[in-house]
Amino acid sequence: MQTKPFGSTGLSVSPVGIGLAALGRPGYITIGHADALGRNYDVTAMEAGAHRVLDKAYAMGVRYFDAARSYGRAEAFLASWLQRRGIPPGDVVVGSKWGYTYTAGWQVEAASHEVKEHSLAVLQRQWKESQAHLGAHLDLYQIHSATLESGVLANREVLKALARLKGGGTAIGLSVSGEGQGAVIDCALETTIDGVRLFDAVQATWNLLEISAGPALRRAAAAGLGVIVKEALANGRLTEANEAPEFDRQRKRLRQEARRLAATVDALAMAAVLAQPWASVVLSGAATTSHLVSNLRATDVIWDDRAAASLENLVEPPEVYWKMRGQLNWN
């Protein structure tokens, strides 16, 4: 897998990266997460499982790895893998995020899995925590799920603190979620400190069911930002693990196109993202090596106009998509 420039950051990323949301904690909303972990939530076992996935990813050419403070022990698992494998800074690109605090206490079912706070105090605390784990490997630090409502893009103290981190050599990004992704991305493109644009990268949801952020992501890429696409498989809805009866029509269409292009359903869905000219890297959220290998087959899929036309009617209104996502069970 050949690397390519990540916007105008000077970093190089593989077209497929690894997101550690499902690798760093026992509970997550991806369909079939419990089965992927074999329902074994022992910390040592989960770290070993994460390392197996990371080993396979690295061997297959993956060079971008994405974590967050709220992903349980994701940063710690990634750090121990980098150290044990002797992977030096610069050999891979590592991103993490701040703004959510993990609160599930290593439980699958919890009153609260994560708490959001985009304050200066949280940034300062979580930056120290991320640095303690990842140190010189940390290339990109992102606001986790920035929204207009959280006020983070208008908080000059936070923005100036991020600008200081940028001045120290760390690229600065933001991830976005929800129906307002496009508006937040456009706001970020206009965010400057001392006349210099603050953000170097944006991470957003785009998949065959939810395409509303596409125009804003195109503008971001044109402005020189690196674009990371998350949830390309819609938290498992665009995989064979989704057995929901109400998804039967869409599932048949996906399987039909997958057969035609000699792909798995998940590889087909990821290939749709790779076909977008504005996408720098699409994240695989695989929790097992078999899922990872299936995801990475996307790089061999020859996406064509017929596939795009056949699958365009899978798109859901953003409000429907995000309501469905909000109803997924932690498992």
What's the per-residue H, E or C state across 46-61?
HHHHHHHHHHHHHHCC
Q: Would you say the pTM of this structure is higher than 0.95? A: yes
CATH of the domain at 72: 3.20.20.100
Residue 258 lies in a domain: yes
Neighbours of 160 (CB within 10 A): 13
Distance from C-alpha of 162 to C-alpha of 169, rounded to nearest angstrom: 11
Q: Helix (H, G, I), strand (E, B), or coil: what is residue 98?
A: strand
Task: Please tell me what DSSP assigns to residue 12.
Answer: E
Backbone angles phi, psi at 171, to 5 degrees: -65, 145
Instruction: Give 185-247 as a DSSP string.
Output: HHHHHT-EETTEE--SEEEEE-BTTB-TTHHHHHHHHHTT-EEEEE-TTGGGTTSTT---GGG
Residue 2 lies in a domain: no
For residue 115, the surrounding DSSP H or E stretch is strand 114-116
Residue 215 lies in a domain: no
Contact in structure between 74 and 23 (CB atoms under 8 Å): yes
Q: Tens-of-pLDDT digits for all 331 residues of the chain?
A: 999 999 999 999 999 999 999 999 999 999 999 898 999 999 999 999 999 999 999 999 999 999 999 999 999 999 999 999 999 999 999 999 999 999 989 998 888 899 999 999 999 999 999 999 999 999 999 999 999 999 999 999 999 999 999 999 999 999 999 999 999 999 999 999 999 999 999 999 999 999 999 999 999 999 999 999 999 999 999 999 999 999 999 999 999 999 999 999 999 999 999 999 999 999 999 999 999 999 999 999 999 999 999 999 999 999 999 999 999 999 9
Instruction: Give 127-190 as a DSSP string.
Output: HHHHHHHHGGGEEEEEEEEE-TTTTGGG-HHHHHHHHHHHHTT-EEEEEE-STTHHHHHHHHHT
Task: Please tell me what DSSP assigns to residue 45.
Answer: H
To which residue do tokens 């349980």 refer? 72
CA distances (Å), 276 to each of 93, 100, 272, 306, in order?
21, 29, 7, 15
pLDDT digits (tens, 9 = 90+) for 17-53: 999 999 999 999 999 998 989 999 999 999 999 999 9
Distance from C-alpha of 273 to C-alpha of 107, rounded to nearest angstrom: 33
Backbone angles phi, psi at 289, to 5 degrees: -65, -35
Per-residue pLDDT at 139: 98
* Domain range enclosing 50: 12-136+230-326
Per-residue pLDDT at 132: 98
pLDDT digits (tens, 9 = 90+) for 266-305: 999 999 999 999 999 999 999 999 999 999 999 999 999 9
To which residue do tokens 């995801």 refer? 295
In the chain, how many domains are there? Answer: 1
Per-residue pLDDT at 77: 98
Residue 202 lies in a domain: no
Backbone angles phi, psi at 97, to 5 degrees: -140, 155
Bridge partners, 17 (sequence order): 283
Residue 222 lies in a domain: no
Q: Helix (H, G, I), strand (E, B), or coil: what is residue 67?
A: coil
Distance from C-alpha of 177 to C-alpha of 198, rounded to nearest angstrom: 20
Residue 43 lies in a domain: yes
Distance from C-alpha of 13 to C-alpha of 31, rounded to nearest angstrom: 28
Q: Helix (H, G, I), strand (E, B), or coil: what is residue 300?
A: helix
The token pair at 247 is 């998804």
Bridge partners, 228 (sequence order): 203, 281
Task: Please tell me what DSSP assigns to residue 317.
Answer: -
Residue 195 lies in a domain: no
Residue 175 lies in a domain: no
Per-residue pLDDT at 103: 94
